[in-house]
Chain A
Amino acid sequence: MEAFDPAELPELLKLYYRRLFPYAQYYRWLNYGGVVKNYFQHREFSFTLKDDIYIRYQSFNNQSDLEKELQKMNPYKIDIGAVYSHRPNQHNTVKLGAFQAQEKELVFDIDMTDYDDVRRCCSSADICSKCWTLMTMAIHIIDRALKEDFGFKHRLWVYSGRRGVHCWVCDESVRKLSSAVRSGIVEYLSVVKGGQDVKKKVHLSEKIHPFVRKSINIIKKYFEDYALVDQDILENKESWDKILALVPETMHDELQQSFQKHHNSLQRWEHLKKAASRCQNNSKNDKCGPWLEWEIMLQYCFPRLDINVSKGINHLLKSPFSVHPKTGRISVPIDLQKVDQFDPFTVPTISSICHELDVISTKEEEKENGAESDIKHRTRDYKKTSLGPFVKVFEQFLENLDKSRKGELLKKSDLQKDF
Chain B
Amino acid sequence: MVDHGEAGPVRCNRCKAYMCPYMQFIEGGRRFQCGFCSCVTEVPPQYFQHLDHTGKRVDCYDRPELSLGTYEFLATVDYCKNNKVPEPPAFIFLIDVSYNAVKSGMVNIVCNELKSLLDLLPRENPEMDSVVRVGFVTYNKVLHFYNVKSTLAQPQMLVVSDVSDMFVPLLDGFLVNVNESRQVIESLLEQIPEMFADTRETETVFGPVIQAGLEALKAADCAGKLFVFHTSLPIAEAPGKLKNREDKKLIGTDKEKTQFQPQVGFYNNLAKECVAQGCCVDLFLFPNQYVDVATLGVVPVSTGGSVYKYTYFQAQTDQERFLKDLRRDVQKQVGFDAVMRVRTSTGIRATDFFGSFFMNNTTDVELAGLDCDKAITVEFKHDDKLSEETGALMQCAVLYTSCSGQRRLRVHNMAVNCCSQLADLYRNCETDTIINYFAKYAFRGVANNPTKAVRDTLVNQCAQILACYRKNCASPSSAGQLILPECMKLLPVYLNCVMKSDVLLPGADVSLDDRAYLRQLIGCMDVADTHVFFYPRLLPVMKLESGSLPVALRDSEERLSKGGIYLMETGLHLFLWVGASVQQELLLNIFGTPSFSQIDPNMISLPVLDNPFSQRLREIIDSFRAQRSRYMKLMVVKQEDRTELIFKHFLVEDKSASGGASYVDFLCHMHKEIRQLLS
Partners in one complex: no
Residues of A whose CB lies within 8 Å of any CB of B are none
Residues of B whose CB lies within 8 Å of any CB of A are none
